Amino acid sequence: MRAVQHLHVTPSAVSNSLARLRSLLGDPLVIRSGRGIVPTPHAASLAPALKRALSEL
């Protein structure tokens, strides 16, 4: 799992964080597509604002 390696956390930590975000936002955030996953339209619409916010931190 590349996210786990990139974030230096356990798979369960990533899973738990994603579950919390899904619950808070009321959206699955990612869906399976072929052999991978893609962002939902809602998640994709959040990306520009999140990128700006993170760059300001």
pLDDT for 8-56, tens place per residue? 999 999 999 999 999 999 999 999 999 999 999 999 999 999 999 999 9
Enter the tokens of residue 7.
């974030």
Question: Per residue in 16-43, is it b (16+ CB within 10 Å) or e — as a string?
Answer: eeeeeeeeeeebebeeeeeeeeebbeeb
Domain that holds residue 32: 2-56
Task: State the pLDDT confidence band at 2, using cuts at 50, 70 and 90.
Answer: confident
* CATH classification at residue 37: 1.10.10.10
Determine if the pTM surpasses 0.85.
no
Q: Structural domain tally of the chain?
A: 1
Task: State the pLDDT confidence band at 4, using cuts at 50, 70 and 90.
Answer: confident
* Residue 20 confidence (pLDDT): 97
